[in-house]
Chain A
Amino acid sequence: MDPVIYFDNNATTAVAPEVLEVMLPFLSDRYGNPSSMHRFGGLVRRQIDAARQQVAALLGAHPEEIYFTSCGSESDSMAVVGFTKVHKSRARIITSMVEHPAIRSLCHGLKAEGFELVEVGVSGAGLLDLALVSRLPLDPDTLLTFMWANNETGVLFPVEELAALAHDKGAVFHTDAVQAVGKIPTSVETSAIDMLSLSGHKLHAPKGVGALYVRKGTKLSPFLVGGHQEHGMRAGTENVASIVGLGKACELAMGNLTEENTRVRRLRDRLEAGLLATCAGAHLNGDPARRLPNTTNVSFEFIEGEGILLLLDEKGIAASSGSACTSGSLEPSHVMMAMGVPYTLAHSSVRFSLSRYTTDADVDAVLAAMPAIVTRLRSLSPYVKS
């Protein structure tokens, strides 16, 4: 496989070399079970504890408030389902219309089971109107779950304000912060957030590990029942190597927050400005200011996203699209639909997501390729008059 010019970091990221290095011993000679009585297991236990501290440090949490899971989706399920099990039929859920399927499908399923669900819409720029949420009745049986950053557009929700709003009424606030953690400051110390989901592979740890932050005192039912692991909240022998990797990745993320918001942001801005200036019919999706520093989502009028991705792929460039065709579904992204992006643009939304490994040369490669790709697909489009 040729080297890839990688602009799909919101889908997954490369494992950082430093992360891989700390993981390897746990995939070879340090295979003890952290629950065992012997020292061979005990030394592994201590590494898990250390990883828990590293994750907690990035969030400003206490280590005992961190529960390791197998992925972001599991963290989301643990939070939302765990809440409904405690509050039973009284439980109601408030969320947004642009959540990741990990929350969206989960909530739709709970609605089908009979739980009350409110889905709040967004503006054309993908922003959430705080005043709308403040008018909803909230009580201690209400769970608000709002993503911190949108995976498709990078648009940020005011989760700190939402959490404060929830707390005023005694409601519980969860955020799916899978896309935000490691890219922007995400502190639970200075906010009233009760639960926060994160995923390892979005911040240069491997796939198959995630974590849920649960503020002390938040009532939650156990997710996986069995052994006593994770304080009995999530049974199962720990995925030690990945947990150790996640700890290291969080430590690295803390050190890289400044870079994400300076160098990576500048690269993203250059890429975005170039695309909008040189590609016919290009439109930016999402609010330009309230956004992750690494994401840009651009639509190209009258052409379709899969074609763009296939032609980029020919040049060794990896990106992704909200087009129906790329997902196997027949309708374009629910995020684009909720934002009211017209169909002429929704089918062609392309997301470029950068990371600290993205270089100026990578951006140059996309800027060199895209105008010709757009011109070529436009020449095939029945909607473009020649």
Chain B
Amino acid sequence: MWEYTDKVRDHFLNPRNAGEIENPDGIGEVGNITCGDALRLTFKLDDQGRIKDAKFKTFGCGSAIASASALTELIKGKTLDEAAKLSNGDIAQYLDGLPREKMHCSVMGQEALEAAIVYYKSGGKKTAPPEKDGKVVCTCFNVTDKEIERAIRENKLKTVEDVTNFTKAGGGCGGCHEQIQEMLDKLNGAGTARPQPVARLTTLQKIDRIRDIIQTDIRPILANDGGACELVDVDGNEVTVRFKGHCNGCAFSNNTLVSVVEKKLREKVAENLVVKMV
């Protein structure tokens, strides 16, 4: 069961502006029955070029219907320039949020609007939103690089799963996951996933953190060989530990000290730590 907001439920149970406008000025059709959802948006402009009326027809789940209903409410009364600024986030926000896995419903709304505007501006010659011009990345759901790039940028997406939730790309065979990851790395700047440098610690914070890392990161490694270690002292950047169990007196304990204990503490606490054993 999805945790839909009251607003989503309301727009699903009482959809606003369902139907189709006769002789519309703009028609936007996105999605298809294979992919599991589709939206047909029609609008009519008034004399001042504002959207006088908008209607939708949706094949899809509760949140797809609610997103389309929200879309029509959001664009009525707007000029096309104003409407073009609408993002998928605006649709989701209007509904007090959508489940993360359903964010693609809001993206479908945004794309239908763009397609309808393109239709109007080209006098019906063009029907696809501009992002569809890109190179297809996800062949299962026919999603282009431009669509994925925009979703990453506008929604600050960080993971492949996020991209799938917002665009459906990668939700089928999974063959494009690597390509999506490359796009994420490029747009977010590679290395954003690397651990952030630790801020300067006070002496007490440093001791607490060393104790924590020994407990959570170092002891489990040593425990594999029946060993253990405990913190004896911290003096400036000099950390003293005592090996126990199998590590105590083991010929490789000095190796362990450097390759496990010092390495972990330098990585997780401070670069300049020196570890000794007693």
Contact = CB atoms under 8 A, between A and B. Distances in A.
Nearest to A306: B61
A307 B62 contact: yes
A386 B57 CA distance: 11
Contact of A381 (B59, B140, B168, B172): B59
B274 interface: no
Interface string A291-332: 000000000001111110011001000000001111011111
A330 B57 contact: no
Nearest to A328: B101
Q: Which of B35, B59, B65, B101 has the most C-beta atoms of chain A within 10 angstroms of its own C-beta?
A: B59
Interface residues of A, number: 27
A332 B172 CA distance: 10
Contacts of A328: 101
Interface in B51-70: 57-62, 64-65
B18 A379 contact: yes
B38 A307 contact: no
A307 B12 contact: yes
B219 to A, nearest CB: 24
Interface string A331-343: 1100000000001
Given A303-B59, A304-B61, A332 B36 contact: yes
B12 to A, nearest CB: 6
Nearest to A302: B59
Nearest to B170: A330
Nearest to B105: A325
Contacts of A381: 57-59
Contacts of B34: 343
Nearest to B40: A382
B16 to A, nearest CB: 12
Nearest to B58: A380
B59 A382 contact: yes
Nearest to B168: A330
A326 B4 CA distance: 13
A40 interface: no
B257 interface: no
B33 A325 contact: no
A325 to B, nearest CB: 3
A202 interface: no
B27 to A, nearest CB: 11
A380 B168 contact: no
A331 B172 contact: yes
Contact of A344 (B33, B58, B60): B33
A234 interface: no
A347 interface: yes
Contacts of A311: 13
A48 to B, nearest CB: 35
A311 B13 CA distance: 8
B111 to A, nearest CB: 14
B119 interface: no
A298 B103 CA distance: 28
Nearest to A343: B34
Contacts of B110: none
A71 B33 CA distance: 36
A329 B60 CA distance: 14
A380 B41 CA distance: 12
B149 interface: no
Contact of A347 (B33, B39, B101): B33
9 contacts: A310-B12, A323-B61, A328-B101, A329-B171, A330-B168, A347-B36, A380-B18, A381-B59, A382-B39
Interface of A: 302-307, 310-311, 314, 323-326, 328-332, 343-344, 347, 379-383, 386
Given A311-B13, A325-B62, 7 more contacts: A304-B60, A323-B61, A330-B36, A343-B36, A347-B36, A347-B59, A380-B57
